[in-house]
Amino acid sequence: MKTNLNSKEVILKAKDTIIKKVEKLGKPIKVMEFCGGHTHAIMRYGIDKLLKGYIEFIHGPGCPVCVASMDRIDLAIELAKIPNTIFTTYGDLLRVPGSHRKSLLDMRALGCDVRSVYSCLEAFDTALQNPNKNVVFFAIGFETTTPPTAVLLKKAKEHKLKNLFVVSNHVMTPPAVRYILNSGISHIDGIIGPGHVSVITGTKIYEEFDVSIVISGFEAFDILKAINMLLDQHIKGERKVENAYTRAVTEEGNKEAQKLIEETLDTRDSFSWRGIGSLPKSALKINDDYEIFDAEKVFDVKLPASKEHPLCICPKVITGVSKPTDCKLFGNLCTPENPIGSCMVSSEGACAAYYKYQEVELCM
């Protein structure tokens, strides 16, 4: 019988290996997990508590809902308010409050036709079924979620749809990693690289970085294995890209997906990230060949200047400068049921993960 890789025994053995190596080094190691899925997994398994004092986790800006800037949420709300519009997006975004504390769900309660979709192709079907309405798909996500939007655009063009419009908020991992490393806001000894982003991009996108990066899967064993590999690099003084998620990730990635992105989307000159501000060449826009489907070009939406909640520290949480528990609103005024900041909305946000799993004491 094969070993149960997530079992308590295996996890405790991996813990001992990691702790012995850190003890030899004589100081704790700072590891940034870039992806929100990893943040969630680390909290769910209590890996942060398991390795407390040995590994400090800095939570990275890899939760797409969390990094959506307030002006993008405001844009979504304004688009949803346009008469005769069916507004569609992935479910996580619906509860993020905009500048005026209203979310897309609030807009639905006020009579706007706001729908959550599992797949963006549901927006395509909705457009076909409702020829007299405008259907907007508000696309968010990192590289993993971008190729489906490219497919949606191609299908819209093939079918000559006149009533489907897309907003691309797709952001890219390398510019955010570059920002974290160059800004000096947090010292990082190594990065747990995103697993499913890398399925699309391949591991080659990380080769420019002068830091240890290990691509990881999402289970407890995967994450402990990645930390162990980062430690080995640290001990040897190496800074390279390694792949601990060979089950799914290759060096070159999914070339068909990359080709579809190239055919439909272009790099934006700059894009605003919550907590980071404007980052050059960090996001994608719909290219000129598909501009008739670009909601940002078709609809003339005027947005007043956006504003963050004065006490919310999501911007600092997103960049790893502060922990969720440093926030005065955490757990009292801001909860998953009544979120004030985006990091409390998405299950991949650091605040939501801390809130849900704060009592977890793995195997202890």
Partner 1 sequence: MCLAIPSKIVEILDNNIAIVDTMGVRRKASLELLNPKPKVGDYVLLHVGFAIEVLSEEDALESLKLFEEALDYENEFEL
| C-beta closer to partner 1: residue 60 or 329 | 60
**1 Cβ partners below 8 Å, 6+ apart?**
none
Count of residues engaged in binding partner 1, rule: CB under 8 A? 53
Distance of CA 241 to the CA centre of its chain: 20
Sign of CA dihedral 59, 65, 178, 272: negative
Give the span between the Cα atoms of 169 and 283, in whole angstroms. 7
**100 Cβ partners below 8 Å, 6+ apart?**
none
Binding range to partner 1, per CB under 8 A, among 73-81, 142-150, 182-190, 280-288: 142-150
Within the chain, where are the H helices?
8-25, 36-45, 47-50, 64-67, 70-81, 104-109, 121-129, 146-158, 173-183, 195-201, 220-236, 255-264, 295-298, 314-318, 350-357
| C-beta closer to partner 1: residue 37 or 98 | 37
> Minimum distance between the CB of residue 62 and partner 1, rounded to whole angstroms?
8
Q: Is residue 129 close enough to count as binding partner 1 by CB under 8 A?
A: no
Work out which of 60, 98, 147, 341 binds partner 1, going by CB under 8 A.
147
CA dihedral 246, 251, 256, 259 (to 10 degrees): 150
Residues 193-252 that bind partner 1 (CB under 8 A): 194-197, 199-200, 217-222, 246-248
Residues 150-179 that bind partner 1 (CB under 8 A): 151
Work out which of 39, 89, 103, 145 binds partner 1, going by CB under 8 A.
145
| C-beta closer to partner 1: residue 250 or 333 | 250
- Per CB under 8 A, residues contacting partner 1 are 2, 4-7, 35-37, 44-45, 62-65, 90, 92, 118-122, 140-142, 144-145, 147-148, 151, 194-197, 199-200, 217-222, 246-248, 254-257, 260, 346, 348, 357, 360
